[in-house]
Amino acid sequence: MGGAGAPLPAVSAPVVEVAGLTKVFGRTLALDGVDLSVARGEVVALLGPNGAGKTTLLKLLATALKPTAGGGTVLGEDLVNGRDTIRRRIGMISHNHHLYEELTAGENLHFAAVMHGLRASGARIQEALDEVGLGEQGNGKVRTFSTGMKRRLVIGKMLLFDPDLLFLDEPHNTLDQAAITLLNGYVASVRARGGAAVVATHNLSRAYDMADRFILMHDGAVTYRTEKSGLSAERLRELYTRHAENGEEGLAESREPRAERREARAESREASR
């Protein structure tokens, strides 16, 4: 599979480098000053329960949201000013499939290819559909597809243009085992060619199988970071319970000061309006 994007940054340059990323919705501090660096050839898992901030962080990195504060680069491009270039070079699986319901599966892939500046032949589109197990559904309207089939089609879009960086939000949801194997294999192939992936999930078993590094989150903040090397699946579960579910922070910062900090930031934002 041939990539369509610009060359990846130099080996020493992280594909994601952000600092102090903060997102406020009204008076709710959804993301609280997150720092994150992702190297080429790396899969990083964001772990935490619902409401931990995982999806908000992914949306910020994918430029679907603008940060309230903080910033950085993705694939060497500024997170705000380089959003168009970033979007052409990333692949994303999220709760919103970003498919056109009234178009067929084949038409969706053709449109995605055009949007990425590719000339995908009918044969290449059919090949992508075959690879994701939708070879017989190419002429079917997407509105008739199950959620799992839509997820497969999103994977098919990524197969067409080989993104340099993947942002995956609960990517295994609704997939059968064959599709899970397909997705995991694709993520491994992106990593092997020097790309990277950031995966948000609360499924520890899937995360342990895929990732090289784990970022534990609770209530919008990073509470713990750890490498996979030397870490057992059982130990990861213990850390998850302590730092993601219960919110204990690695720097021994209590949850009460963090709550106060949230209120102070929200009040500051209100005052600046």
Tens of pLDDT, residue by residue over 178-193, are 889 989 999 999 999 9
Strand-strand pairing, 90-93 and 43-47:
unpaired
Q: pLDDT tens, 120-135? A: 788 889 999 999 999 9
Contact at 8 Å (CB) between 217 and 243? Answer: no
Q: What is the mean pLDDT of residues 60-77?
A: 96
Mean per-residue pLDDT over the chain, rounded:
87
Q: Give pLDDT, residue 1.
A: 44
Give the Cα separation of 266 and 25 in Å (integer).
9
Q: Give pLDDT, residue 72.
A: 97
Give the Cα separation of 247 and 255 in Å (integer).
7
Give the Cα separation of 29 and 76 in Å (integer).
27
Q: What is the mean pLDDT of residues 241-270?
A: 62
Q: Give pLDDT, residue 12.
A: 60
Give the Cα separation of 251 and 92 in Å (integer).
32
Q: Which residues touch 72 (CB under 8 Å, ≥6 apart)?
A: 16, 17, 18, 19, 21, 79
- In percent, how much of the chain has pLDDT > 90? 67
Contact at 8 Å (CB) between 105 and 134? Answer: yes
Q: Give pLDDT, residue 256.
A: 40
Q: Does residue 36 surpass a pLDDT of 80?
A: yes
Greater model confidence, 71 or 2: 71
Nearest Cα to 150, choosing from 199, 210, 198, 96? 96
Architecture of domain 40-68+96-229+244-272: 3-Layer(aba) Sandwich (3.40)
Q: Give pLDDT, residue 112.
A: 87
- Residue 166: pLDDT band (50, 70, 90) is very high
Q: Does residue 108 surpass a pLDDT of 90?
A: yes
- Domain residue spans in the chain? 40-68+96-229+244-272
Q: How many CB atoms lie within 10 A of CB 121?
A: 11
